[in-house]
Amino acid sequence: MSPAVRQVVVRSGDPRSGEGRALLGASHAYLSSLYPPEHNHYLSIDELAQPHIDFWIAEVDGQPQGCIALARMGDYGEVKSMFVDPAARGTGLGAALLAALEDRARASGLPVLRLETGDDLYPAHRLYRRHGFTDCGPFGDYVEGPHSVFMEKRL
């Protein structure tokens, strides 16, 4: 008996939709359980709905399981709100979300992607490194902090 083939779809989404709110709510709750408020740098749902931000939702067999956003910051793009439901981690969903984001960043002419992530989110660190991200210092309005890891990828 062969394993069931799962259909993964990454599509443009709306952070204000029910599925967007559910994924972002789960992400925000998880981050809030790990870090104090002053060290949580996620954007609100309304901030993610701004015109300079693209938002995607990943579905597995029609069920929303992850999301990611690209903030176009002028001379770079910032990866925001990367989240995969714990039940779907390790299935390639994160890679699919990053691929959609990178395609959009390249189409927008962005020369580099940057991100800030939690210091102990080791599976996320491994995912980003597998996709060519390397450590860097703070960028934009970020400052060095005890819970932040900064990464970038030249496109």
Which amino acid, residue 56? Answer: W
Determine the pLDDT at residue 5. Answer: 58
Q: Which two tokens stand for residue 24?
A: 């972002």
Contact call for residues 155 and 110 (beta carbons, < 8 A): yes
Task: Read off the pTM.
Answer: 0.93
pLDDT digits (tens, 9 = 90+) for 71-113: 999 999 999 999 999 999 888 999 999 999 999 999 999 999 9
Residue 144 has pLDDT above 80, yes or no: yes
Average pLDDT over residues 130-139: 98
The DSSP string of 110-134 is -SEEEEEEETT-HHHHHHHHHTT-E
Contact call for residues 65 and 59 (beta carbons, < 8 A): yes
pLDDT digits (tens, 9 = 90+) for 16-42: 999 999 999 999 999 999 999 999 999
Look up tokens 């067999």; give the residue: 61
In angstroms, the CA 59 to CA 44 distance is 22
Residue 123 has pLDDT above 80, yes or no: yes
Whole-angstrom CA distances from 3 to 61, 100, 117, 145 are 14, 26, 34, 44
Average pLDDT over residues 121-126: 95
- Per the prediction, the chain carries an average pLDDT of 94
Q: Which CATH architecture describes the domain 8-154?
A: 3-Layer(aba) Sandwich (3.40)
In angstroms, the CA 105 to CA 94 distance is 16
Helices (H), the chain: 18-34, 45-48, 93-107, 122-130
Phi, psi (deg, nearest 5) at residue 84: -130, 130
